[in-house]
Amino acid sequence: MSGNSSAVTSILDQLSALGHKKVVFCNDPDTGLKAIIAIHDTTLGPALGGTRMLSYATETEALEDVLRLSRSMTYKAAITGLNLGGGKAVIIGDSRKGKSEAMMRSFGRFIQNLNGEFITAEDVGTTTKDMEYIRMETKYVTGVPESIGGMGDPSPTTAKGVFLGIKACVKEVFGTDMLAGRSVVVQGIGNVGEQLVELLRNENVEVFISDINEERLHHIARKYKAKPVEANKVFGLDVDIYAPCALGATVNDVTIPRMKFAIIAGSANNQLADEHVHGKLLLEKNILFAPDYLINAGGLINCYSELTGFGRKRTMQLTENIYQATRNVIKLSKAENIPTILAANRIAEQRIIDIKKIKSSF
């Protein structure tokens, strides 16, 4: 009994420390569903976030992931000017063999029970087909296929936002946002990475690429005349910009000392292993970091457009705001001599505080 109650206390302590509103544990023995839905903040609107399906080693690892990711979604929506809160869900299991229609529909029912407080979308380990199954049980899902009224793959919008974030940083460091003649290494040339490579090559940027999938690496290298690099050479490369488009936490104690980059700007979530420690280290090393949750917000904008019925034109306009939003973050970071990630956090938090005041005064 005492063991259980201290476990509950520690979960509630974690929720208080990170500012979460609600966490829902979903268990359906009939379909094998084990999932966690985390709702971080709903001041600006319903909490929107993808559902990730992964074989987490422990339930604690799954909980930590969903808490961290849902908090980032709050900041992403806030700084992008969207009327959405932050949430995320994880399904514990192997996405290649542990999935079924019944499991996804069961998960849809858990979402429905939240009555719109949480809206989900596709993420690592889930597909538009899964979203279609969830849609059979609830309307609180986005990222369904274009054939049934969705906005389709968000990756091109995400890549466009990252590209604009890169431009805003180049303007700061090199005095012009013309990219011709600059050099970039894109780590991870999946859905977003490939689109980014194309945008950069169209501007005559020298592009280096790295991916653990060798076949894809050489295919993309040939297609866009990009230069393949071995994974362990990425951090020592003498190029202007590092664009992480694969995994999180690649900016850490081990990699920062090797870096000669002027700018880090990519699509991966949570690139800094520790936003305080590594944000400060980058500031000291004069490496400009484009806050990941800001410049990769294109995917969220896509979902928002699907929910609100905005068309492609409005989606692109909202994505184009990422350029100015990145410039604003850099300006605040310089004025206060604080890491860009903390400057971004401050802008996002201020919007939530301001809107909370309006809501409580009427």
For the CB of residue 191, give the shortest distance to ligand NAD in the complex, in Å. Answer: 4
Cβ-contact 241, 263 below 8 angstroms: yes
Distance from first CA to last CA of the chain, Å, rounded?
Answer: 45
* Shortest Å, Cβ 274 to ligand NAD: 18
Catalytic annotation present for 88: yes
Which CB atom, from 35 or from 151, has the smaller least distance to ligand NAD? Answer: 151
Nearest to 142 by CA among 325, 362, 306, 258: 306
CA distance 27 to 25: 7
Residue 191 annotated in ligand binding? yes
Q: In the bound complex, what is the minimum distance in angstroms from residue 54's beta carbon to ligand NAD?
A: 12
- 115: its two tokens: 């009555």
Q: What are phi and psi of 187, to 5 degrees?
A: -100, 110
CA gap 33, 262 in Å, rounded: 45
The nearer residue to ligand NAD, 63 or 268, going by C-beta atoms, is 268
How far is it, in rounded angstroms, from Cα 211 to Cα 54?
20
3 belongs to an annotated ligand binding site: no
Catalytic residue among 21, 34, 76, 88: 88
Q: How far is the CB of 129 from ligand NAD (least distance, A)?
A: 16
Residue whose structure tokens are 């700061």: 172
Residue with Cβ nearer ligand NAD (54 or 332): 54
Query: In this complex, which beta carbon is closest to ligand NAD, that of residue 106 or of residue 326?
Result: 326
Cα separation, 219 vs 212, in Å, equals 13
Phi, psi dihedrals of residue 315, rounded to the nearest 5° = -60, -45
Tell me whether residue 32 is annotated as binding.
no
Binding site for ligand NAD (CB under 6 A): 154-155, 158, 187-193, 210-213, 216, 231, 245-247, 267-269, 296, 299
125: annotated binding-site residue? no
Q: Are 290 and 268 in contact (CB under 8 A)?
A: no
SS3 83: coil
User: Binding site annotation covers 189?
Assistant: yes
Report which DSSP code applies to 53: E
Closest chain position to ligand NAD (CB): 190
Which C-beta is closer to ligand NAD: that of 76 or that of 167? 76
* 188 is an annotated ligand-binding site residue: yes
Give me the active site residues, please.
88
The binding site for NAD(+) consists of 188-193
